[in-house]
Structure 1
């Protein structure tokens, strides 16, 4: 009998297992993959994601092999912003969510999953969790309406059955645990992005860059092995035309969204791997917990990749869920009380507002005139620029930055500062060009 069986051994699962094992609980982790290995992922960690690694004593292993930066460039329709997530907001975020702000760091990084997941799995095993790879869960064991264990097939082909006080579903947006329990999806957002990315060597982009123009976006960030991850994305309704010539359209999208980045990739870059892609980025929520089970990470809340928040949120869920389960497993609270506390933090008003923010961005509508004026106004206000970046990264509450009084002050300032930006010269004509299909 285990205290917890964790289905899924990557960001959400390995982290949950690591934290529970360190608290003295008997934990089994099962994953159908072997490690190290990659998985479809934009593999970006915002500063609070890096802070979790630091809180868990794993950050040095990541930074030893991964470039890190604190300042990021965001360019919307040619309007550049540069800033970082303020340490003060990071500390406030951790105090509100976890009750302490230990381990906060201001850096971000793009960490390949073959690097990060291996570090997490090894840390979970070192903490005392039993890790089984190449292990497929085929069935949830239920008794009297409660999940009490799993059945599956081990790496050697042998069938196994294990039982636990709780089963943690940490197996991604297509979660076997969720599907087996026939959990409903709610607040579904079918409009989303498609995304394609690969890895180029041969040039130095400096720090991370995020670009938007019209209905397309692109990003570049240094990652492991002396390479740069280059990503392009757009509205899902353009996916079919984009797929007709993925390599060519990746370059065309780069040239359109950021001619400088497009030129850099074309003239100096060497692509080191195939181009990866994902088409289903639709957002949805699932129930968080039930009799004998709990979900963490994308299994519970799947969001579009456009803000690259997935791994950071997986770490958040791991810390929240493991803390709640520890209180129950040690008898400090009932399971209902522990899960109510977990749900209260995960279903907060701020979480709902950020989910809506991501889903709205993922529609990839061209920015309105007032939104572009806002970006221009931010250029003259570093404090508000940093707060905008913190809001985009889910550190500062969306409702605070986008409240009417704040936007009124910023847009009022923008009236005088928007002159000289060509995007405002003939906004109606510019907007029409954005509606045209780039790949016609």
Structure 2
């Protein structure tokens, strides 16, 4: 009998297994893949994602093979904002969510999953978790309407049955656990982006760059193996036309959104792998927990890739879920109390607001004049640029940045630095617009 069986051994699953094992619990983690191996992913970690690795003692392994930076360029219709996530906001994030701010770092990195997942799986095994790869889960064992274990096939073809006090579904957006339990999706957002990306050698940008023009966007970020991930995306309703000529449209999208990046890729870049793509990134939520089971990561909340938050949120969920389960497994709380605590931190007002923020951005509507005015107003105000980037990364609450009083202050400061040019004609109306679009 295990304390916990974790289904899925990548970002959320291996991390959850590692943290539970470090607390002395008997953990089995299974995955149908072997490691190291790659998986479809934008594989970006914001500074709080890197901070989790630092809190867990794994950051040095990642930085030994992965370039990292502290600043990022965000360019919207030619309006460039360069900034970083402030340390004080990172510390506040960890204090509010986890009760302590240890391990905070301000770096971000793009880490290939063949690198990161292997580090996490090895860390889980070192912590004492039993890791079974090439393991296919065939069924959940349910007794008296409670999940009590799994049935599956091992790498050598043997059929086995294992039992545990809790089963953790960390098996991604197409979660076997969720499908087997027939868990409903809710707050679904079908409007999303398509995305195509590949890996180029031959150049090295100093920072990650996020560009957007009209309804298309692109990004470049240094990653492992002396390569750069180059990504383009747009509204899902354009995907059919785009995939009619992926290589051609990929380059044309780069040239349109950022002519400088397009020329850099064409003139200096050597594509090292095929072009990868994903067309369906519709967002949804699922129930977080039930009798004998709990979900973490994309299994319980999937969002569009446009803010590249998935792996960072997987780490957040692993730390929250493992802490809650430890309270129960150690006798400090009932299972209902532990799961209520997990749900309260995962489904709070700030989490709902950020979900809306991502889903609104994923519609890829062209920026309106008043939205572009906001970006103009931010120029020259480094403190607010940094806070905007922290908001985009889900470090600072979305509602605080876009509240009317803050937009008023931005407007006032911009007037003083732009010869009286009125950035917002009606800051209250602008605030209401954001509230209606993001939090409806």
* TM category, shorter: over 0.9
SS of equivalent residue, structure 2 residue 247 = helix
Match of 1:424 in 2: none
Offset at residue 408 of structure 1 (A): 2.6
Match of 1:32 in 2: 32
Match of 1:15 in 2: 15
SS of equivalent residue, structure 2 residue 38 = coil
SS of equivalent residue, structure 1 residue 274 = coil
Distance (Å, rounded) in 2 between the aligned partners of 1:95 and 1:292: 29
Offset at residue 235 of structure 1 (A): 0.1
**Contact 1:373–1:414 (8 Å) recurs in 2:** no
- Using structure 2 for the length normalisation, give the TM-score: 0.94
Match of 1:190 in 2: 190
Distance (Å, rounded) in 2 between the aligned partners of 1:267 and 1:414: 39
**Contact 1:92–1:101 (8 Å) recurs in 2:** yes
Match of 2:387 in 1: 387
Distance (Å, rounded) in 2 between the aligned partners of 1:298 and 1:377: 35
Distance (Å, rounded) in 1 between the aligned partners of 2:376 and 2:413: 9
Mapping of 1:301-340 within 5 angstroms?
301-340=301-340
SS of equivalent residue, structure 2 residue 172 = coil
Match of 1:362 in 2: 362
**Contact 1:199–1:229 (8 Å) recurs in 2:** yes
**Contact 1:376–1:418 (8 Å) recurs in 2:** no
Aligned: 1:291 with 2:288: no
Mapping of 1:66-145 within 5 angstroms?
66-145=66-145
Match of 2:256 in 1: 256
Most deviating of 113-122 and 375-384:
375-384
SS of equivalent residue, structure 2 residue 252 = helix
Offset at residue 36 of structure 1 (A): 0.2
Match of 2:155 in 1: 155
- Using structure 1 for the length normalisation, give the TM-score: 0.94
Match of 1:426 in 2: none
Distance (Å, rounded) in 1 between the aligned partners of 2:159 and 2:401: 53
Match of 1:146 in 2: 146
Distance (Å, rounded) in 2 between the aligned partners of 1:187 and 1:26: 35
Distance (Å, rounded) in 2 between the aligned partners of 1:206 and 1:230: 14
Aligned: 1:56 with 2:56: yes
Offset at residue 405 of structure 1 (A): 1.5
Distance (Å, rounded) in 1 between the aligned partners of 2:40 and 2:115: 14
* Cα deviation code 1:135-175 (max 9, x no counterpart): 00010000000000000111111111000000000000000
SS of equivalent residue, structure 2 residue 118 = helix
Aligned: 1:271 with 2:279: no
Q: Pick closer, same or farther for the CA change 1:367–1:414 going to 2, 3 Å.
A: farther
Distance (Å, rounded) in 1 between the aligned partners of 2:417 and 2:327: 54
Most deviating of 184-193 and 399-408:
399-408
Match of 1:438 in 2: none
Distance (Å, rounded) in 2 between the aligned partners of 1:415 and 1:362: 31
SS of equivalent residue, structure 1 residue 245 = helix
Offset at residue 89 of structure 1 (A): 0.2
| Structure 1: gaps spanning 5 or more residues | 422-440
Offset at residue 407 of structure 1 (A): 1.4
Offset at residue 410 of structure 1 (A): 2.0
Distance (Å, rounded) in 2 between the aligned partners of 1:124 and 1:87: 29
| Structure 2: gaps spanning 5 or more residues | 422-440
Q: Pick closer, same or farther for the CA change 1:417–1:254 going to 2, 3 Å.
A: farther
SS of equivalent residue, structure 2 residue 195 = strand
Distance (Å, rounded) in 1 between the aligned partners of 2:342 and 2:418: 45
Match of 1:437 in 2: none
SS of equivalent residue, structure 1 residue 81 = strand
* Cα deviation code 1:190-244 (max 9, x no counterpart): 0000000000000112110000000001000000000000000000000000000
Distance (Å, rounded) in 2 between the aligned partners of 1:134 and 1:155: 5
Distance (Å, rounded) in 2 between the aligned partners of 1:203 and 1:382: 28
Offset at residue 409 of structure 1 (A): 2.8
SS of equivalent residue, structure 1 residue 244 = helix
Q: CA RMSD in A?
A: 1.2
Distance (Å, rounded) in 2 between the aligned partners of 1:354 and 1:62: 28
Match of 1:166 in 2: 166
Distance (Å, rounded) in 2 between the aligned partners of 1:417 and 1:179: 55
Match of 2:432 in 1: none
Q: Pick closer, same or farther for the CA change 1:238–1:417 going to 2, 3 Å.
A: farther
**Contact 1:370–1:411 (8 Å) recurs in 2:** no
